[in-house]
Amino acid sequence: MTTCDFNRLIERRNTASIKWDYYDPDVLPAWVADMDFPAPEPVIAALHARVEHSIFGYGLPPRELREVIVTRLAQLYDWQVEPDALTFMPGVVPGFNLACRAFAQSGEGLLIQTPVYHPILHAAENHALERQTAPLARSADGRYTIDFADFESAITEQTQLFILCNPHNPVGCMFTRAELEQLAEICLRRNILICSDEIHCDLIFSGQQHIPIAALDPEIAALTITLMAPSKTFNIAGLECAFAVIPNPELRQQFKQARGGLVPAANILGYTAALAAYRDGQPWLDAVLCYLEENRDLLKTAIEAGELPGITMNLPEATYLAWLDCRHAGIPGNPYEFFLEQGRVALNDGAIFGPGGEGFVRLNFGCPRAVLQDIITRMRAALTTL
C-alpha cells in the first residue's frame, strides 16, 4: 500500500495551475479534471533521476514503455496488441482531432453522443465536418444509456467517424458489453470508423469493469482507434503523454500521415513518467481509487441527506467527476454562474457539454476530503440564499 497521504493539503495557487490560478484567489476550484494529489512516488523518483541526467534532447518512446503497455492491455482486458500498434502523442484531444483530420473530409459527418466532453463536442467544427448528434438517454434513476434507434437514425451517408467516450465524461457512466457490442455492430454494418476516447479507463469504481470496444473482436479492432493515457490515472496530465492503439496498419499509417509537421510525439519527461506509472504505480492507483470512492460516496450521502436541496446526482461508475442535476433546485438562471457568484465555487457549466447539459454542473471530487467538505459547505450556503 502506498504511503501517500491524500488528505494532505498542497498549495497549488501561483504554480501555473490552470485549475487553481484561473479564478480569483477566494474561489475554490472544482472544475478542470486534474486531482489535487501528488503523483506516485515511483514517478517522482524517475523524474528526479531523468532530470539529474541533465540532457534533454529529442526522444523516442522507450521500448520498455511499449512492452509495459502491451502487457497491461493483455492482463486487464485480454486484449492482444502488438507493440508497433502504439502511436504516442501529447494528449488524447490531439488524438481524436487527428482522427478527424485523417479519416473525414470537409462536409462529411462526425457522430457524437451528447452531453459529452466539450473538446469532442467541438471536434467537428475544427475540421469543417458536420456534427451529427445522438443524445444519450437518461433513465428515471438518472443513469445514462444509449437509445440505439436514435443513434442509428443520426447516421447518414456522410457519416465517416464516430467518437465514443467510454468511460463517459461528464456523466460518469460505463457502457456495458452489450451496449458496446451493439454500437460496434452498427458501425461495422455502416462502415463507420470508431475513435474511442478511453482516457478514464483506469479510474473505475467497485463492481465495474472497463471494456475497450476494440477488445471485443479483431474485426472491430481493425476499424477502431483507441486513445488512452496515464495522465488522468496518475495525475500527470501536465507532462503530456498519451497513445493511440491502432492495430490496423493501414489506419495507423493514415493517422501518422495526418500528424505530419503538426502534432509531435510525447516529450522525454512524459515518457519517463508514463513508464514509471504503468510499471510501478499500481499500489498508488489502488489507494487513490479507494479514496476517490469514499469522496464520491460522501458527496452522494450529503445530497441524499438534503444538504444541497433540489440537487440530485447519479452515482458515477468511473472518473472523479460528479454530474449534478440542478434543474429542480430553484436556481435563477445558470447554476454554474450561481455557485461561482454566491458560493465562490468554480464548477463546470453543464451547457458546455452540449445538448442535455443545460441545468447541470460537473464537480471534480479528486481532492483532499477537507476541500470537498468545504465545496459542499459553500454550495449549501449559496442555496440558502434562494
Could you tell me which of 23, 21, 20, 25 has the C-alpha nearest to residue 337?
A: 23
Q: How many CB atoms lie within 10 A of CB 283?
A: 15
> In this structure, are 26 and 63 located in the same domain?
no
pLDDT of residue 3: 66
Locate 150 and state its grid cell. 436514435
Q: Are 355 and 115 within 8 A, CB to CB?
A: yes
> In this structure, are 67 and 185 located in the same domain?
yes
> In this structure, are 65 and 129 located in the same domain?
yes
Position 11 in a domain: no
Residues paired with 346 in a beta bridge: 29
> In this structure, are 253 and 229 located in the same domain?
yes
Domain boundary among 280, 301, 336: 280
Report the half-sphere exposure of 36 (CA within 13 A, side-chain side).
Answer: 24
Position 239 in a domain: yes
**How many domains is the chain built from?**
2
Give the position of cell 498508488: 284
What range does the domain containing 235 cover?
54-280
Position 48 in a domain: no
pLDDT of residue 169: 98
> In this structure, are 261 and 338 located in the same domain?
no
Q: How many CB atoms lie within 10 A of CB 16?
A: 8
pLDDT of residue 70: 98
CA 183/CA 48 separation, integer angstroms: 44
CA 267/CA 36 separation, integer angstroms: 23
> In this structure, are 253 and 307 located in the same domain?
no
pLDDT of residue 141: 87
> In this structure, are 258 and 326 located in the same domain?
no
pLDDT of residue 219: 97
Show Cβ contacts of residue 267 under 8 Å, excluding neighbours closer than 6 positions. 59, 90, 239, 240, 241
Reading the chain (386 residues) residue by residue, the pLDDT tens digits are 446 899 999 999 999 999 999 999 999 999 999 999 999 999 999 999 999 999 999 999 999 999 999 999 999 999 999 999 999 999 999 999 999 999 999 999 999 999 999 999 999 999 999 999 999 999 988 899 999 999 999 999 999 999 999 999 999 999 999 999 999 999 999 999 999 999 999 999 999 999 999 999 999 999 999 999 999 999 999 999 999 999 999 999 999 999 999 999 999 999 999 999 999 999 999 999 999 999 999 999 999 999 999 999 999 999 999 999 999 999 999 999 999 999 999 999 999 999 999 999 999 999 999 999 999 999 999 999 99
> In this structure, are 220 and 270 located in the same domain?
yes
> In this structure, are 139 and 218 located in the same domain?
yes
CATH number of the domain bearing residue 117: 3.40.640.10
Domain boundary among 236, 254, 280: 280
> In this structure, are 148 and 99 located in the same domain?
yes
Domain boundary among 259, 280, 301: 280
